[in-house]
Amino acid sequence: MPELPEVETTKRGLEPLIVSKIVNRVILHRDNLRWEIPKHLKTTLANQIIVDINRRGKYLLIQFKVGTLIIHLGMSGSIKVVDSIEALKKHDHFELELTNGKSMRLNDPRRFGAVLFSEGGSHVLLDSLGVEPLESDFDESYLYVRSRKKTQNIKAFIMDSKIVVGVGNIYACESLFACGIDPERKAGGISKAHYQLLTQCIKTILTQAIKAGGTTLQDFSQVDGSPGYFTQTLNVYGREAEKCSACNGKISRIIQNQRSTFYCKSCQS
DNA sequence: CTTGTCACCTGAGCGC
DNA sequence: TGCGCTCAGGTGACAA
């Protein structure tokens, strides 16, 4: 599900609802997601004030004085803040009950997400992450240098979180369409000029998607329950056999690295 | 080191 | 209605 725009949308939605609020208790409705949820959170975070919320790649970082609660939404996760007395939904797995009568609930049907904790703020899962795509250090020189001699396809390259974080299957497809690059091209053979186009397209598309509240396919919703509206802006993703918005061609779907890739054979080369 | 594949899990949608 | 199949916003752990 959630790529960078969806996680950023979640972060922005949560911020006014949980920052400066106090945790009454932590409730584990199951003891694991992708990994075991630390049991000590019940005692560690009880009565603690939420100091801040941040995002690193697709990770949400909820800051406490005693450390950082790290949440990943996996493929199907979403977070809502509801009245604590509201009935649990199916697949609500983790809950921060606040002292103001509200609860932050993590719902994740497929359970590929994670709830972790770091005392110091750093974590092995965050240590080797690449640059943020919306920061200025993500530019054509960065991608050009890192891609030399790489034989993998350009789509896998920009989806590699050790290179750049937050670009998932939807936005990789959309970005490559926007700048006219064939997703099957080898990353190492792409010119600096094309990398400039690509970085600009990634930045533009992610920014527009955040503005639209993200993309909703099935599971994702914003913190208030409303869907993301970027779905209607998608040019190729999920549009196999439909007409290309830029030419008379048909959108193709191929499989790359076990994932569907949508693109236009005549617009992308 | 790099690249590609598998595994984790539930649910929606489709053809029969 | 039901069954079996395919597909789905991610990514760590492996094998090659």
Return the amino acid letter for A216. Answer: T
Which residues 201-220 on A are within 7 A of strand B at the CB atom? Answer: 218
Asked if A88 and A68 count as a contact pair (C-beta separation under 8 A), the reply is no
Give residue A219's pLDDT band: very low, low, confident or very high (50, 70, 90): low
Q: How far apart are CA A169 and CA A174, in angstroms?
A: 9
pLDDT value of residue A121: 75
Catalytic positions of A:
2-3, 58, 259
With a 7 Å cutoff on the CB, does A58 touch strand C?
A: yes
Least confident of A89-93, A207-211, A213-217: A213-217
With a 7 Å cutoff on the CB, does A56 touch strand C?
A: no
Here the tokens at position A208 are 């527009």
Side by side, the strands of the sheet bearing A78-83 are A23-28, A92-98, A102-107, A78-83
Which residues 72-91 on A are within 7 A of strand C at the CB atom? Answer: 72, 74-76
With a 7 Å cutoff on the CB, does A19 touch strand C?
A: no
- Measured in angstroms, what separates residue A51's CA from nucleotide B13's C1'? 43
State the pTM of this model.
0.97
pLDDT value of residue A69: 98
Give residue A232's pLDDT band: very low, low, confident or very high (50, 70, 90): confident
Residues sharing a CB contact under 8 Å with residue A157, sequence separation 6 or more, in sequence order: A143, A147, A150, A163, A187
Q: Which nucleotide is nearest to A253 (CA to C1')?
A: C7
Closest C-alpha to A50, from A74, A27, A19: A19
Tens-digit pLDDT profile for residues A122-175: 889 999 999 999 999 999 999 999 999 999 999 999 999 999 999 999 999 999
Return the amino acid letter for A134. Answer: L
pLDDT value of residue A226: 81
Note the strand C nucleotides within 7 A of protein beta carbons.
7-12
With a 7 Å cutoff on the CB, does A152 touch strand B?
A: yes
Q: How far out from the chain centre does Cα A184 lie?
A: 23
Average pLDDT of span A203-220:
86
Here the tokens at position A186 are 């080898």
Which residues 120-159 on A are within 7 A of strand C at the CB atom? Answer: 125
Q: How far apart are CA A254 and CA A164, in angstroms?
A: 23
Give residue A1's pLDDT band: very low, low, confident or very high (50, 70, 90): low
Note the strand B nucleotides within 7 A of protein beta carbons.
2-12
- Measured in angstroms, what separates residue A34's CA from nucleotide B8's C1'? 7
Tens-digit pLDDT profile for residues A33-61: 999 999 999 999 999 999 999 999 999 99
Whose tokens are 């533009």? That residue is: A204
With a 7 Å cutoff on the CB, does A161 touch strand C?
A: yes
- Measured in angstroms, what separates residue A98's CA from nucleotide C12's C1'? 33
Q: Which nucleotide is nearest to A108 (CA to C1')?
A: B10
Closest C-alpha to A90, from A26, A29, A10, A36: A29
